[in-house]
Amino acid sequence: MKLAAIVKRSWISAVAVAAVIVLLAALDSPPPGMPERYRLSVARGDTFQSVARALKEAGVIRSALFLDALTKVTGSGGSLQAGDYDIERGATAVGIHALLTSGKERLERVTIPEGWTASQIAGLLERDHVTSRGEFLAAVRSPALLRSLGIPGATAQGYLFPDTYDFPPSFPAERVVRIMVANFFESLGKIEPDYRTLSPSELHDKVVMASVVEREYRVPAEAPEIASVFYNRLRKRMRLQSCATVAYVLTDVLGEPHRTRLFDKDLAVKSDYNTYLHRGLPPEAISNPGLISLGAAFHPASTAFLYFVLSDPATGAHFFSRSFTEHTFAKFQYLSLYLKTD
């Protein structure tokens, strides 16, 4: 009889354990109708208890008590990390608990195109909730920040490297600028390992040149030739006469809509950035150049070209000339083609 009683009690215990396991598995599993993705914001001072209630009400977990109990069993009640989290459909309560104690908050993936200005980047960062437009532009022009970053100029424009970044939401603007500038110098080191031997003014001029080339080229193979044209003109004390600098004044300084064509009156717009009016480079970069333009500015082609003009609107290819006569003839050919197709 004693053996039978022991077996009976063992059987009952096994059933009870199995029942508990089944119950816990059910409470841990995602509820039916769980959202495809739920964005959870945890503020400083929030507790696991309040977060569990919010998740239960949103249909993300089956039981607020179960999630709260996990914190007591694991002793993680004080490990809740503030931040924004994306909880994907199918996540279990145990997985959600691990996410909230890991601090691996949601990141905003932001892709900065080559040639964008600081103003354009600021708008993108604000749209994607990384940082405000005003704070970013203030950081870009912060004298103290620029000094600490080793930027020889009045703005970080030109040094905000175009790339894909993952930023937390509501990220400090200065930290955004620091990350982008660090990426710039790391990338520059691959193009020109000896860039640190340049004086601040030499580095500044190279970056400004790259920013102009960035806004002029469309065919990558032509970037070094375009850079050579501008360097040749500088050596001869000719004005650069870059349409990109005029477009920058019109759109980024004066806030006018982007234009596909520039007219004589546009070329006369008064600005230190207008290289049709002023000799030398613009005072600061007019865009944030990528690797191709930086490579062209630091390693231009060796040519005798002094002019270039668009020859194929479809591809963006240019015709390069050594003399004004050749250049005038090339412009005439392009205008004839443009007027036929316009």
Q: Where in the chain is the domain with CATH 3.30.1490.480?
A: 27-102
pLDDT attached to residue 270: 96
- The encoded tokens of residue 321 equal 């000339």
Residues with Cβ within 8 Å of 296's Cβ and at least 6 positions away in sequence, in order, are 210, 213, 217, 223, 224, 226, 227
pLDDT attached to residue 212: 98
Q: Name the CATH topology of 108-191.
A: Dna Ligase; domain 1 (3.30.1490)
pLDDT attached to residue 5: 55
Residues with Cβ within 8 Å of 125's Cβ and at least 6 positions away in sequence, in order, are 110, 131, 133, 136, 167, 176
pLDDT attached to residue 95: 83
- Tell me the C-alpha distance between 316 and 219, whole Å: 6
Whether domain 27-102 has CATH 3.30.1490.480: the reply is: yes
Instruction: State the 10-residue block means of pLDDT for the chain, 342 residues long.
Output: 54 54 70 85 82 89 84 74 81 83 78 97 96 98 97 96 93 96 97 95 98 97 98 97 96 88 91 97 98 98 95 90 86 65 50
- Tell me the C-alpha distance between 30 and 26, whole Å: 8
How many other C-beta atoms lie within 10 A of the C-beta of residue 108? 18
- Tell me the C-alpha distance between 214 and 158, whole Å: 10
Q: Which amino acid is at 48?
A: F
- Tell me the C-alpha distance between 270 and 256, whole Å: 14
- Report how far apart, in Å, the C-alpha atoms of 31 and of each of 28, 48, 105 are: 9, 19, 23
pLDDT attached to residue 7: 47
- Tell me the C-alpha distance between 94 and 59, whole Å: 15
Q: Which amino acid is at 91?
A: A
Provide the whole-model pTM. 0.75
Q: For residues 67 and 61, is the Cβ–Cβ distance under 8 A?
A: yes
HEC per residue, the chain: CHHHHHHHHHHHHHHHHHHHHHHHHHHHCCCCCCCCEEEEEECCCCCHHHHHHHHHHCCCCCCHHHHHHHHHHHCCCCCCCCEEEEEECCCCHHHHHHHHHHCCCCCEEEECCCCCCHHHHHHHHHHCCCCCHHHHHHHHCCHHHHHHHCCCCCCCCCCCCCCEEEECCCCCHHHHHHHHHHHHHHHHHHHCCCHHHCCHHHHHHHHHHHHHHHHHCCCHHHHHHHHHHHHHHHHCCCCCCCHHHHHHHHHHHCCCCCCCCCCHHHHCCCCCCCCCCCCCCCCCCCCCCCHHHHHHHHCCCCCCCCEEEEEECCCCEEEEECCHHHHHHHHHHHHHHHHHHC
- Tell me the C-alpha distance between 218 and 196, whole Å: 29
